[in-house]
């Protein structure tokens, strides 16, 4: 005795369509009156014999058309023939791989239980019910699968204990890499039956890589793919999808602007509480109106008075998916920067008329913090009073230069730059009134560059503004992102034109005038370098020192001087990792990374290595990085959960079916028992789909042949028979 199981039973409703050919036949059946003509009795006898043959063919055509529709409906229902009474214990031996979606959306709770925990329990049930003569393995979509799970285990029930203690990730990886890993394992098994089960909440983001799935290999090497849906039909969620702070690198006492984006999903409406934290202390909070599908931006202002890397976060009140209710930030608060201003001897004092612009620009940074300390110190000297040993404890030198800069100062500044310092050049206002200045500069150069002209706007000629700047350079990067209009407001009456053909590989133009001439040039020298402004910090040159751009540009220059060329990392997501610059000198060393859970990881950096790519970041929060024996402060790096998992959109049944090979006709189920049942039939039963499709093809060919016979019989009647039939029909009409 045998029983039949239908994998897609809803296609059985298609059997009702098999009645359509019969109905069409009955509707178009003609009713005729019976009239006898004595002179045509022999024709009638002959016609009756022909009609009987045609009627038999008509019936066969009707039967074939009805059978064709019925066979197609049965084939789509995917029937399987197996011994009657065979239960789950009557599996054939199989190699089974279970792919468990452990993306962040699986942390969502339903009835107080996380979806990931439901998925693990479903996996335990499946491995306990499949035949213990086979083997099974488990893969996580995050790629964090323990080797004990990814290795085929026999009997499969032994996996139950290994599944204990698994935790969901905070990432948002797609499912195809894990499916490919599962395919490689099961297809290498010697067992006859190979199958894959995917357990997921069917979040749409997990299936965005349809093009990368190897459907051909899946269809050839696996007999069955089953999908278990553990998702929550309630798609409501409130999430922090982004948070940023500007400036991320600053001096203590600088006002910071923190911006956060809140997204509501599903039936979320009303207010939610957003708060800003520094460390474990709440600084401020706001009520934000949330409307589903519309991102809302809110801002906080804060002033930090501490130095070093400061951890901060933006948080939401808890909901069913708490993993996306916090975003982490690191503010890098700089130490004291020591500067010196060197001016021509013609100035009235050390901080004379021209250098006053620099001093007043630095003064806002001298505002005492709560500790009473200043983040910037300023020393002064002129060409006569300058001593080389005065640069010993200096980080940056601002040089107001004219053609009379003594050779000893030029040599000392070159050595200072090569040792790691930064020299910032400004042309002196004295050049503007010296008619021989251009000739002198063409001989001596300026900042190491060849001067070709001293451009000045002529009477009635408009001054020149600033043009394009290198967007990735640390000095202008933040300003271009936050306030690009500041560059367009500057106008210049005079500037030094330099010969760019003389630039070497260590020189680059950071910003230009609208005319295309260089405005700010950087030249690396040893561990430090030179920053050369081709217009001066005096109104005789430009209104640059009077514009709002002047102070923040000096501010970013000082940060660059301290070696803070890389702002605190932004947008680093879990499982993606981050890069850490190797110590200077190229000697290598040992890096110690402490995760948010307190676990430490030691990584060796080889000699000559410039950076380390660290990828072990499964948790959101703050990672502390320090170098053994270096005596430097630990560097904090913020790692955030995946923002792609907050949308909660689910894949449609049609798209899910299209994601996998067409032959599998994949449809998700919500009960593990149904998955077990389907695996049982797929492994033990005999599939009838192919025989039914062949039978349908035979029925189609026979129907076409017989229908063609009827058509030819009607068209090939002899002419005398057609004339007699016409007379018969005319006599019947007259009667």
Which CATH number do you get for residue 478? 3.40.50.880
What are the beta bridge partners of residue 303? 255
Domain match, 402 and 490 both: yes
pLDDT in tens, 58-92: 777 778 778 888 888 888 877 766 554 444 334 45
CB 559 within 8 Å of CB 334: yes
The reported pLDDT for the residue numbered 83 is: 52
Please tell me the least confidently modeled range out of 150-159, 371-380, 483-492.
371-380
For the cut 80, the answer to whether the pLDDT of residue 349 exceeds it is: no
The reported pLDDT for the residue numbered 132 is: 84
Domain match, 174 and 319 both: no
The reported pLDDT for the residue numbered 351 is: 43
CB 250 within 8 Å of CB 258: no
CA angle 623, 174, 618 (to 5 degrees): 15
For the cut 90, the answer to whether the pLDDT of residue 295 exceeds it is: yes
In this prediction, residue 701 has a pLDDT band, given cuts at 50, 70 and 90, of: confident
C-alpha distances out from residue 542 to 348, 383, 535, 665, Å: 22, 24, 7, 73
Q: Please identify, among 561, 586, 606, the residue that sits at the C-terminal boundary of a domain.
A: 561
Domain match, 550 and 699 both: no
**Phi and psi at residue 59, to the nearest 5°:** -65, -40
SS3 of 335-363: the string is CCEEEEEEECCCCCCCCCCCCHHHHHHHH
Beta-sheet strands, E only, within 666-707:
686-687
How do 193-200 and 94-100 pair as beta strands?
A: parallel
Q: Which residues contact 591 (CB under 8 A, 6 or more apart)?
A: 580, 602, 603, 604, 605, 612, 614, 625, 626, 627, 628
The reported pLDDT for the residue numbered 670 is: 92
For the cut 90, the answer to whether the pLDDT of residue 216 exceeds it is: yes
What are the beta bridge partners of residue 113? 110
For the cut 70, the answer to whether the pLDDT of residue 367 exceeds it is: no
In this prediction, residue 372 has a pLDDT band, given cuts at 50, 70 and 90, of: very low
Q: Is residue 210 part of a domain?
A: yes
- Highest mean pLDDT: which of 432-441, 508-517, 539-548? 508-517
Q: Is residue 573 part of a domain?
A: no
Cα(553)–Cα(426) distance, integer angstroms: 14
Q: Is residue 332 part of a domain?
A: no
- pTM of the entire structure? 0.69
Please tell me the least confidently modeled range out of 90-104, 306-320, 661-675, 698-712.
698-712
CA angle 171, 172, 175 (to 5 degrees): 125
The reported pLDDT for the residue numbered 366 is: 47
Range 469-495 average pLDDT: 89
CA angle 614, 619, 622 (to 5 degrees): 75
Range 289-312 average pLDDT: 91
In terms of pLDDT, which residue wins out, 53 or 378?
Answer: 378
The reported pLDDT for the residue numbered 322 is: 92
Q: How many domains does the chain have?
A: 5
Range 663-686 average pLDDT: 79
Range 513-525 average pLDDT: 94
Cα(486)–Cα(467) distance, integer angstroms: 11
Q: Which among 277, 275, 304, 273 has a CA at the least distance from the CA of 290?
A: 273
pLDDT in tens, 399-417: 998 888 888 999 999 999 9
Range 94-112 average pLDDT: 92
Q: Is residue 572 part of a domain?
A: no
175: helix, strand or coil: coil
Q: Please identify, among 532, 561, 590, the residue that sits at the C-terminal boundary of a domain.
A: 561
In this prediction, residue 94 has a pLDDT band, given cuts at 50, 70 and 90, of: confident
In this prediction, residue 350 has a pLDDT band, given cuts at 50, 70 and 90, of: very low
- 550-561 helix and 474-482 helix, angle to the nearest 10 degrees: 140
Domain match, 342 and 472 both: yes
Domain match, 102 and 194 both: yes
In this prediction, residue 313 has a pLDDT band, given cuts at 50, 70 and 90, of: very high
The reported pLDDT for the residue numbered 512 is: 95
**Phi and psi at residue 665, to the nearest 5°:** 50, 55
- Highest mean pLDDT: which of 150-164, 558-572, 712-726? 150-164
For the cut 60, the answer to whether the pLDDT of residue 718 exceeds it is: no
Please tell me the least confidently modeled range out of 124-138, 205-219, 605-619, 720-734.
720-734
The reported pLDDT for the residue numbered 71 is: 81
Q: Is residue 566 part of a domain?
A: no
Which residues form the domain of 288? Answer: 237-327+642-646
Q: Is residue 585 part of a domain?
A: yes
Domain match, 390 and 293 both: no
**Phi and psi at residue 666, to the nearest 5°:** -65, 135
pLDDT in tens, 545-573: 888 888 888 888 888 887 654 544 555 88
C-alpha distances out from residue 226 to 649, 660, 680, Å: 21, 10, 12
In this prediction, residue 681 has a pLDDT band, given cuts at 50, 70 and 90, of: low
Domain match, 178 and 271 both: no
CB 686 within 8 Å of CB 82: yes
Q: For position 252, which CATH number holds?
A: 2.60.40.10
For the cut 80, the answer to whether the pLDDT of residue 117 exceeds it is: yes
Q: Is residue 374 part of a domain?
A: yes
In terms of pLDDT, which residue wins out, 476 or 678?
Answer: 476
Q: Is residue 282 part of a domain?
A: yes
Domain match, 633 and 653 both: no
The reported pLDDT for the residue numbered 575 is: 85
- Count the helix, strand and coil residues of the chain and give each as a percent rounded to the nearest 5: 35, 30, 35
Domain match, 371 and 304 both: no
CB-CB neighbours of 725 under 10 Å = 13
Beta-sheet strands, E only, within 191-325:
193-200, 224-229, 237-246, 249-250, 255-265, 269-278, 281-291, 296-303, 308-316
Give the neighbor-by-neighbor strand order of the sheet with 621-627: 600-605, 589-594, 621-627, 635-639
Q: For position 602, which CATH number holds?
A: 2.60.40
Domain match, 352 and 212 both: no
Please tell me the least confidently modeled range out of 92-101, 289-298, 721-730.
721-730
The reported pLDDT for the residue numbered 652 is: 94
- What percentage of the chain exceeds 90 in pLDDT? 40
Please tell me the least confidently modeled range out of 192-206, 248-262, 417-431, 572-586.
572-586
Looking at every residue in the chain, the average pLDDT score rounds to 83
Range 673-696 average pLDDT: 74
Range 106-119 average pLDDT: 91
Domain match, 57 and 195 both: no
Domain match, 148 and 253 both: no
In this prediction, residue 719 has a pLDDT band, given cuts at 50, 70 and 90, of: low
């Amino acid at each position: 005795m045998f029983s039949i199981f239908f994998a897609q039973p809803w296609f059985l409703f298609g059997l009702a369509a098999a009645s359509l050919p019969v109905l069409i036949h009955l509707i178009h059946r003609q009713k005729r009156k019976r009239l006898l003509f004595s002179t045509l009795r022999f024709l009638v006898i002959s016609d009756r014999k022909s009609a009987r043959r045609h009627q038999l063919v008509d019936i066969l055509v009707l039967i074939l058309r009805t059978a064709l529709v019925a066979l197609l409906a049965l084939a789509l229902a995917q029937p399987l023939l197996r011994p009657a009474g065979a239960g789950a214990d009557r599996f054939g031996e199989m190699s089974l791989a279970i792919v468990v979606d452990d993306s962040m959306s699986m942390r969502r709770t339903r009835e107080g239980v996380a979806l990931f925990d439901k998925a693990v329990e479903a996996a335990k049930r499946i491995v306990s019910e499949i035949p213990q003569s086979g083997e099974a393995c488990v893969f996580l979509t995050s790629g964090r699968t323990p080797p004990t799970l990814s290795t085929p285990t026999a009997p499969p029930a032994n996996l139950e204990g290994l599944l204990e203690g698994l935790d969901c990730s905070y990432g948002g990886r797609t499912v195809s890499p894990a499916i490919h890993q599962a395919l490689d394992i099961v297809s290498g098994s010697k067992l006859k039956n190979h199958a894959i089960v995917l357990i997921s909440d069917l979040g749409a983001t997990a299936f965005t890589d349809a093009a990368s799935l190897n459907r051909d290999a899946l269809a050839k090497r696996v007999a069955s793919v089953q999908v278990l849906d553990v998702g929550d039909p309630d798609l409501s969620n409130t999430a922090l999808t982004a948070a940023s702070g500007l400036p991320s690198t600053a001096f203590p006492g600088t006002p910071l602007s923190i911006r956060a984006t809140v997204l509501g999903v599903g039936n979320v409406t009303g207010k939610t509480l957003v708060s800003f934290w520094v460390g474990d202390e709440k600084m401020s909070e706001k009520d934000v109106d949330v409307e589903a599908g519309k991102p809302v931006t809110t801002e906080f202002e804060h002033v930090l008075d501490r130095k070093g890397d400061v951890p901060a976060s933006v948080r939401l009140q808890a909901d069913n998916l708490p993993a996306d209710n916090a975003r982490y930030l690191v503010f890098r608060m700089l130490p004291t920067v020591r500067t010196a201003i060197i001016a021509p001897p013609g100035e009235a004092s050390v901080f004379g008329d021209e250098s006053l612009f620099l001093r007043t620009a630095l003064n806002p940074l001298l505002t005492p913090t709560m500790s009473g300390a200043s983040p910037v110190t300023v020393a002064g000297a002129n060409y006569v009073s300058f001593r080389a040993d005065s640069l010993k404890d200096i980080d940056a030198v601002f040089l107001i230069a004219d053609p009379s800069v003594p050779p000893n100062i030029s040599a000392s500044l070159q050595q200072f730059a090569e040792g790691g310092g930064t020299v910032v050049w400004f042309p002196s206002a004295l050049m503007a009134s010296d008619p021989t200045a251009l000739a002198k500069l063409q001989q001596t150069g300026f900042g190491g560059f060849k001067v070709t002209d001293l451009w000045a706007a002529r009477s009635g000629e408009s001054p020149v503004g600033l043009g394009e700047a290198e967007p990735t350079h640390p000095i202008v990067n933040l300003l271009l992102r936050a306030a690009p209009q500041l560059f367009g407001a500057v106008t210049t009456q005079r500037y030094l034109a330099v010969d760019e053909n003389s630039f070497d590989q260590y020189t680059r133009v950071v910003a230009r005038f609208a005319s295309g001439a260089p405005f700010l040039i950087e030249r690396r020298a040893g561990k430090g370098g030179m920053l050369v402004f081709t217009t001066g910090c005096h109104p005789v040159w430009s209104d640059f020192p009077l514009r709002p751009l002047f102070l923040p540009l000096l501010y970013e220059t000082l940060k660059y001087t301290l070696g803070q060329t890389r702002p605190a990392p932004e947008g680093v997501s879990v499982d993606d990792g981050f890069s850490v610059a190797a110590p200077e000198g190229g000697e290598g060393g040992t890096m110690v990374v402490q995760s948010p859970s307190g676990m430490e990881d030691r990584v060796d950096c080889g000699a000559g290595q410039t950076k380390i790519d660290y990828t072990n970041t499964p948790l959101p929060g703050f990672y502390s990085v320090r170098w053994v024996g270096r005596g430097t402060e630990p560097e904090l790096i913020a790692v955030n959960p995946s923002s792609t998992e907050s949308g909660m959109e689910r894949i449609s049944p049609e798209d899910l079916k299209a994601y996998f090979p067409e032959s599998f006709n994949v449809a998700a189920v919500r009960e593990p028992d149904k998955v077990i049942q389907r695996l049982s039939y797929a492994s033990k039963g005999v599939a009838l789909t192919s025989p039914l499709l062949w039978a349908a093809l035979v029925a189609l060919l026979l129907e076409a042949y017989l229908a063609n016979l009827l058509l030819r019989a009607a068209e090939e009647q002899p002419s005398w028979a057609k004339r007699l039939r016409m007379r018969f029909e005319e006599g019947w009409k007259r009667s």
